[in-house]
Amino acid sequence: MFEFGIKDIVDIVAVALMLYYIYRLMKESRSLNVFIGIMVFIPTWLFVSQILEMRLLGSIMDKLVSVGTIALIILFQDEIRKFLYTLGAHQRMRAIVRLFSSEDKSDKTSKKSIMPIVMACMSMGKSRTGALIVIERHSPLDDIVDTGEEIDAKINQRLMENIFFKNSPLHDGAMVILKKRIRAAGCILPVSHSIDIPKELGLRHRAAMGMSQHSDAITVVVSEETGRIAVAINGKFRLRLSAEELESILTKELGV
């Protein structure tokens, strides 16, 4: 007799949630047709091999499944990485990690380091100078730093404004800040292809969103067209920020 219990309900719900999350990832990466194709192929494969018991066709489809799994991992490595990062970046998971790690609080960005960033952003906003500033938190950004020019300088308002000055060779890239210092400038960030980003936002904002989707970093954007300031955190934008709002967000998110 077939028994259906609580364990089976949990199993079905877990699979449904997993498929829904995969659907969302595929939709954001413009790979929805691939997801639909997979969802059509799996029932067909099970029907052919398990119900009809067609050995030859079933064997061919078994081989396609084994090879296709590896191919999908290669094709969607960014989406898989994002999924695993989301799990690791969950607040409860971070709390567990902190219990077993000794974090040096002296390395964290201080209040004195936040004000030059805020003042530089406000000044660049008034002069319509585009800027892209990435502030590291827990996720290491060494791979991003390697794409730009290393600076390793104290956080300074004038220095930040000079780096993003329109005639500066580093003004097009992103600046990376970690452990109270400007680590690098002219860095290349991953660009988000999400269709949810408003069309009026440019490439800097897409790069900021991409960075926030790939790490827990805080990315500050100054628009060259409007001079408005925005912040991207955990895949979400906070737009049209004042100096007070920017300072409050940085203070809260950096735990100062």
pLDDT for 232: 94
Degrees, nearest 5: CA angle 94-96-98:
70
Q: How confident is the model at residue 23, as a pLDDT?
A: 73
pLDDT digits 0-9 by tens, 173-188: 999 998 889 999 999 9
Residue 109 near residue 180 (C-beta atoms within 8 A): yes
Residues of the chain with pLDDT under 50: 91-92, 96-97
Whether 231 and 249 have beta carbons less than 8 Å apart is answered as yes
pTM: 0.65
Domains of the chain: residue spans and CATH: 6-88 (no CATH), 105-253 (3.40.1700.10)
Q: How far apart are CA 116 and CA 111, in angstroms?
A: 9
Confidence (pLDDT) at 219: 96
pLDDT digits (tens, 9 = 90+) for 209-232: 999 888 889 999 999 999 999 999
Per-residue pLDDT at 213: 85
Alpha-carbon span 73 to 82, nearest angstrom: 13
Place of tokens 């400007």: 182
pLDDT at residue 8, rounded to an integer: 79
